[in-house]
């Protein structure tokens, strides 16, 4: 006998809606341009590097494979009902904290960049646990705060000695912040031990965006900003404090910290209005250190000029604006908070990378999303974009007038 098809539940019907095409096309376009720029920026480095086997396409092939895999992950994630991320958020956050602990004894990077941030994975490569922590914080905070206005508040016995104090703390909004502050404090402490200032800033930015969108009182953000500034001052030790001096006058340290930013500014300046042409950068020929990574935007400016760089920035701006549009039109509070956190994380990361490359801010080691070489980072970024697309599938259809 033929099998009877069961009726789809309301949840399944909503999850099968169309994705937001403008957002999808912008992600695919930026990923494609990023892979092409990795090929151009890394060509000379790979050609002269023994570790790449003197193969000029070494970085390009790996990045292209990760891009294809990442787009597949994005598509699969977009088909998953994002409501399932509510219960998964606890596990993602827990795993990220465990990895941040494990990177301290088992990671690497201390001898190269002075910070122990990476964990190696056999046959895959390496990744930074902070990348998972960024997503874990956004998922957990969104899941918790989405129930903020519906959960029944616990109240102390009015006869208790603590009821007066607890009532005051509850009225000013401090009690509900305690679990979030504890989580951020643990993560910030572990990040300080690496140390990883840029990763700390990004995690705090994503968390703050979700908290703000959830309606946490504004004066707590002022206090949090002051606390973050204090934390950054504490982290300003060793190579970080030197970066401030280099930022103020890189030409005063041409061979001791300022070399990379000097070469970056040379690349940007030599690009002019229309650029030298794709593949015709001069600074990538062993002048600008690792041009395929954090400073790839300098190569974009040199080869594509002001016009090409502006186009890239406009694409990022359109993607960010569309992300917030999806958040505003999301089906529920959880989806809105998710998209706000992910979109803000993307926006802050793009801004900080461009600011560092142009010497607007001190060097912080932040990569440019979709562009900088790094397979696992690219896959996590595309996974995050898949979550946004999953939320976009459930945007209610406009009512017919």
3-state secondary structure of 127: strand
> What secondary structure letter does DSSP report for 175?
G
Give the list of residues 6+ apart from residue 241 with CB closer than 8 angstroms, or none.
Answer: none
Element (H, E) at 129: helix 129-145
Statement: residue 4 has pLDDT above 50: no
Spatial neighbors of 374 by CB under 8 A, at least 6 apart, are 293, 367
Closest CA to 202 of 375, 5, 390, 341: 341
365 phi, psi to nearest 5 deg: 75, 35
Terminal alpha carbon distance of the chain: 45
Model confidence band, residue 216 (pLDDT cutoffs 50, 70, 90): confident
pLDDT band at 401 (very low <50, low <70, confident <90, very high): low
Q: What is the pLDDT of residue 89?
A: 94
Q: What pLDDT score was predicted for residue 165? A: 47
Instruction: Please state which of the ranges 142-146, 178-182, 386-390 shows the lowest mean pLDDT.
Output: 178-182
214 token code pair: 């959830």
Quickly tell me which residue has 């395929």 as its tokens. 292
Most trustworthy range by pLDDT among 48-52, 232-236, 372-376:
372-376
Please give the C-alpha separations between residue 273 and each of 233, 268, 292, 309, in angstroms, as whole numbers.
Answer: 39, 10, 22, 10
pLDDT-derived band at 155, boundaries 50, 70, 90: low
Contact 141, 211 (CB under 8 A): yes
Question: What's the rounded Cα separation, in Å, for the pair 338 and 342?
Answer: 6
pTM, two decimal places? 0.89
Classify residue 312 as exposed, middle or buried by CB count within 10 Å of its CB (0-12, 13-18, 19+): buried
CA dist., res. 204 & res. 198, Å (int): 10
| Residues 144-154: tens digit of each pLDDT | 999 876 655 55
Q: How far apart are alpha carbons 242 and 254 in whole angstroms?
A: 13
5: left (phi over 0), alpha (psi -120 to 50) or beta: beta
CA distance 344 to 202: 9
pLDDT above 90: residue 222? no
Q: Are 121 and 132 in contact, with CB atoms under 8 Å apart?
A: no
Contacts of 216 (CB under 8 A, 6+ apart): 173, 176, 177
Is the torsion defined by CA of 32, 37, 42, 47 positive or negative? Answer: positive
Cβ neighbourhood burial of 194 (10 Å; 0-12, 13-18, 19+)? buried
141: part of which helix (H) or strand (E)?
helix 129-145
Whole-angstrom distance, CA of residue 80 vs CA of residue 11: 11
Q: What is the per-residue DSSP string for 274-289? A: T-S-TT--STTTTTSS
Q: Is the predicted pLDDT of residue 239 greater than 70, yes or no?
A: no
Q: Is the pLDDT assigned to residue 158 strictly greater than 60?
A: no
* Alpha carbons 116 and 129: distance in angstroms, whole number: 11
Residue 314 vs residues 222, 241, 307, 373: alpha-carbon distances, Å: 30, 33, 10, 21
Residue position matching structure tokens 């890239």: 312
Q: Write down the mean pLDDT value for the chain.
A: 86
pLDDT given for residue 1 in this prediction = 44
For residue 121, the SS3 value is strand
- The DSSP call for residue 115 is S
Q: Where are the alpha helices (DSSP H) in 236-332?
A: 239-248, 259-271, 296-328
E runs forming strands in 103-219:
119-121, 125-127
């Amino acid at each position: 006998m033929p099998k009877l098809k069961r009726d789809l539940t309301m949840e399944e019907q909503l999850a099968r809606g169309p994705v937001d095409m403008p957002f999808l096309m912008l992600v695919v376009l930026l990923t494609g341009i990023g892979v092409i720029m990795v090929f151009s920026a890394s060509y000379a480095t790979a050609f002269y590097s023994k570790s790449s086997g003197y193969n000029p396409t070494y970085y390009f092939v790996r990045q292209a494979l990760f891009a294809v895999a990442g787009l597949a992950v994005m598509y699969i994630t977009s088909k998953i009902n994002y409501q399932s991320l509510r219960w998964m958020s606890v596990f993602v956050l827990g795993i990220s904290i465990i990895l941040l602990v494990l990177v301290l004894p088992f990671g690497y990077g201390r001898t190269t960049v002075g910070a122990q941030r990476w964990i190696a994975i056999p046959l895959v490569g390496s990744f930074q646990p902070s990348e998972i922590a960024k997503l874990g914080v956004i998922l957990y905070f969104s899941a918790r705060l989405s129930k903020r206005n519906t959960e029944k508040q616990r109240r102390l016995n009015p006869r208790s000695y603590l009821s007066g104090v607890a009532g005051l703390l509850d009225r000013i909004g401090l009690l509900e912040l305690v679990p979030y502050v504890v989580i951020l404090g643990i993560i910030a402490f572990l990040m300080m031990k690496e140390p990883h200032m840029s990763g700390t800033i990004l995690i705090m930015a994503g968390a703050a965006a979700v908290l703000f969108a959830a309606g946490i009182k504004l004066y707590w953000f002022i206090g949090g900003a002051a606390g973050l500034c204090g934390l950054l001052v504490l982290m300003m030790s060793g190579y970080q404090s030197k970066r401030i001096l280099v930022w103020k006058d890189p030409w005063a340290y041409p061979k001791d910290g300022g070399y990379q930013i000097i070469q970056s500014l040379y690349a940007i300046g030599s690009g002019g209005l229309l650029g030298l042409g794709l593949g015709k950068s001069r600074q990538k020929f062993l002048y600008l250190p690792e041009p395929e990574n954090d400073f790839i935007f300098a190569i974009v400016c040199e080869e594509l000029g002001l016009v090409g760089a502006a186009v890239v920035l406009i694409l990022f701006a359109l993607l960010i604006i569309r992300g917030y549009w999806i958040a505003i039109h999301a089906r529920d509070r959880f989806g809105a908070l998710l998209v706000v956190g992910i979109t803000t994380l993307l926006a802050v990361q793009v801004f900080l990378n461009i600011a560092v490359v142009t010497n607007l801010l001190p060097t912080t080691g932040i990569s440019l999303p979709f562009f900088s070489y790094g397979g696992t980072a690219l896959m996590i970024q595309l996974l995050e974009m898949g979550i946004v697309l999953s939320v976009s599938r459930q945007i209610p259809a406009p009512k017919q007038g």
